A and B are shown apart, each in its own frame.
Chain A
Amino acid sequence: MKTRSKSVWLTFIVLAVGLALLPILVQAGLGRSWVRVMDLALLYIMLAVGLNIVVGYAGLLDLGYIAFYAVGAYCYALLASPQFGLHLPFWALLPIGAAAAGLFGVLLGAPTLRLRGDYLAIVTLGFGEIIRIFLNNLNAPVNITNGPQGVNLIDPIRIAGFSFGKTHHLFGLTLSSPQLYYYLFLALTLVTIFIALRLQDSRIGRAWAAIREDELAAQATGINVRNIKLLAFAMGATFGGVAGGLFAGFQGFISPESFNLMESVMILCMIVLGGMGNIPGVVLGAILLTVLPEALRYVGDWQRAWIGHVVIDPTDLRMLLFGMALILMMLFRPAGLLPSNRHKREYHNES
């Protein structure tokens, strides 16, 4: 028993040191752009963990999740950019974005409580598209979102005078902006994962599992299905809103382009690929689906090396491969790479 807890601690320490050194090694080895990819991967992990609350825990299929990310991002962007001349501090921006996204989560959840499965998927998809169309068009007659051009010159994240947008010298190290963002995002991602893990085993988490498995039975055992579902939507959306705010500050520029349906699908696929309902699986899925498309960039170089010129632009290949991966994954490993025990059982029983 004692040796086991020792090995757990050892793993933990190795993991912590590894995560701390990762951006330094990556920047030295692969360049700064890969640190940015890692930052985005962390944001996607947050999103995937958030969506996993809605889809994986509560079984509510949400295809419009990116809308909450958009709400968080636009809240941050509009309140911290020359768009309205407002420059609110970070500690005001993030809660506002999170709260607004949470509110939208309830707004979406409340009318759709009766729907399940495909119907819910389609309605949430429609909701996401509505948000995007509004973001795209709310530039006239009153300019709110700046329309398709998006919001520019968003303030970088600044906490207590410490700006993440600049290079800093700390502890004898020179840390670039993407590296600093990495540590910030990592910290917040770990908080997100911690909350999600604690939720899973809590009363609420078990109530979610109950309504996912059998709504009627859950109701019969005294679970307030309506509130519990709304809570799932609200919590998932809040996570999305936080990630959105971070994205806006990190990127410095946002436009409706970043919040289209494919992004929602992508996040859903991270969950499904990794293993729905299982946090380590979700994290793995998010990392794989963020990093692999980036690796496709090298396909262009290979083509140049082997054929002499680029026949197919790798960015054009990206979605094609993604779509094929979805199909193959569902055909051959529908429960994901790291399935949770419950989902594993489900797939074995039915097939």
Chain B
Amino acid sequence: MDIFVQQLINGLVLGSVYALVALGYTMVYGILELINFAHGEVTMFGAMIALAVISALIGAGVDLPGVVVALLGLLAAIPACMALGYTIERVAYRPLRHAPRLAPLITAIGVSIVLQNVAMLIWGRQYISFPPILPQGYHNLLGARITDVQIVILITSVVLMIALTLLVQRTRLGRAMRATAQSPQLAGLMGVNANTVISLTFIIGSALAAVAGVMVSAYYGLAHYYMGFLLGLKAFSAAVLGGIGNLAGAMLGGLLLGVIESLGAGYIGDITGGFLGSNYQDVFAFFVLILVLIIRPSGLLGERVGERA
């Protein structure tokens, strides 16, 4: 039983990170109907930049509490990722706004490859470890263990998700975003500048990705130039699971996917009689993705029809 609770906790924490990344996918897809393949790489850049800043601060002998150092890393990563997201949209997607669908998909793949390799040239091929500056405390919860870092990740994710929901539901910008998602032309007639809205969407999504990247590298204690790829795919799966284009769906999908993955990895050995082990963890996201697209392409909370894509 405590294994179940433990996997559930791990799954929820991981899932909340997936949800943050998935929000970026779903916002962009909702407006442009484009899978922003490079979004996972933005997440990776967030982690890498934060780590670079953190190790620079530590290297400079700055005498600050570990949490503050980590926060400074995060504060450096967020604007950098916002700029990155904006640039990607301007350079690779905007010129292809009206091109056949394959073109932006391929530039997206191209951007993702470029970002991966730029990160590799800057930070190398090896895994970079997150310095042990964060508190290592933990609490007992129903026979399982939840660490302080996990609690912070959960709370931060939930706060950010609530903030984004309020932004989209309650502000002028949010209304403009929803209008653009419905119909860019009509929104334009109402005085909405679609290009500005799209840029802001990329910027907001990238900020969330930066936070997610820092959190995931703090959680695993590692970062790597390739980490964005799988993370991005899982987050995309989460967005599809929830219903792409739907913000609440992305959050639900992210949490669900995290839980499915954790429980799956924890129990797959028992289910298959030891034939498949927890090294199949990464398969679950893809199975979920395929199953959802086959059974309910519009996702759990979505109204969009898969046929449109």
Contact = CB atoms under 8 A, between A and B. Distances in A.
Interface of A: 61, 111-112, 114-123, 125-127, 129-130, 133-134, 137, 140-142, 261-262, 265, 268-269, 272, 276, 312, 316-317, 319-320, 322-327, 329-331, 334, 346-347, 350-351
Given A119-B297, A331-B107, A319 B116 contact: yes
A139 to B, nearest CB: 10
Given A123-B293, A265-B113, A324-B110, 15 more contacts: A115-B297, A118-B35, A119-B309, A129-B233, A129-B282, A129-B283, A129-B286, A133-B280, A316-B117, A317-B117, A322-B113, A323-B116, A330-B96, A330-B99, A347-B99
Contact of B306 (A114, A129, A325): A114
Contacts of B276: 137
Q: In the complex, which of the residues B98, B102, B229, B282 has the most CB atoms of chain A within 10 Å of its own CB atom?
A: B102
A330 B110 contact: yes
B84 interface: no
Contact of A121 (B33, B105, B110, B307): B105
B113 A326 contact: yes
A125 B114 CA distance: 19
A123 B289 contact: yes
B101 interface: yes
Nearest to B286: A126
Given A115-B297, A330-B96, A126 B114 contact: no
A323 B99 contact: no
B274 to A, nearest CB: 6
A272 B306 contact: no
13 contacts: A115-B297, A116-B307, A122-B236, A123-B289, A125-B233, A126-B285, A130-B286, A133-B280, A319-B113, A320-B118, A323-B109, A323-B116, A351-B98
Contact of B286 (A116, A127, A276): A127
A324 B114 contact: yes
A123 B279 contact: no
A350 B293 contact: no
Interface string B88-130: 0001100110111111111101111110111011000000000
7 interchain residue pairs of minimum CB distance:
A326-B110, A323-B113, A126-B286, A323-B114, A320-B117, A327-B110, A117-B309
B186 to A, nearest CB: 21
B98 A61 contact: no
B121 A312 contact: yes
Contacts of B95: 331
B233 to A, nearest CB: 7
Contacts, number: 138
B105 A118 contact: yes
B293 A141 contact: no
Q: In the complex, which of the residues B110, B240, B287 has the most CB atoms of chain A within 10 Å of its own CB atom?
A: B110
A115 B104 CA distance: 19
Given A322-B113, A323-B114, A330 B107 contact: yes
A59 B307 CA distance: 14
Contacts of B279: 137
A268 B103 CA distance: 12
Given A111-B294, A115-B297, A320-B121, A334 B283 contact: no
A207 to B, nearest CB: 20
Contacts of B114: 320, 323-324, 327
Contacts of A118: 33-35, 101, 105, 309
B37 to A, nearest CB: 10
For this complex, into which size category does the number of interface residues on chain B fall?
35 or more
A347 B306 CA distance: 25
A140 B110 contact: no
A159 B114 CA distance: 43
Contact of A140 (B101, B277, B293): B277
B220 interface: no
Contact of A141 (B237, B275, B282): B275
A272 B111 CA distance: 16
B106 A272 contact: yes
A264 to B, nearest CB: 10
Nearest to B88: A327
Contacts of A122: 35, 236, 240, 289, 293
B113 A272 contact: no
A320 B116 CA distance: 8
A327 B233 CA distance: 20
Nearest to B120: A316
Given A126-B286, A272-B102, A351-B99, A115 B309 contact: yes
A134 B233 CA distance: 18
Q: In the complex, which of the residues B106, B233, B277 has the most CB atoms of chain A within 10 Å of its own CB atom?
A: B106
Given A130-B286, A319-B117, A324-B114, A112 B294 contact: yes
Contact of B98 (A127, A140, A312, A350): A350
Given A126-B286, A323-B110, A351-B99, A112 B117 contact: no
B290 interface: yes
Contact of B101 (A114, A117, A312, A327): A117
Contact of B106 (A133, A262, A269): A269
Nearest to A117: B309
B309 A137 contact: no
A331 B111 CA distance: 12
A122 B238 CA distance: 13
A327 B107 contact: yes
A140 B275 CA distance: 7
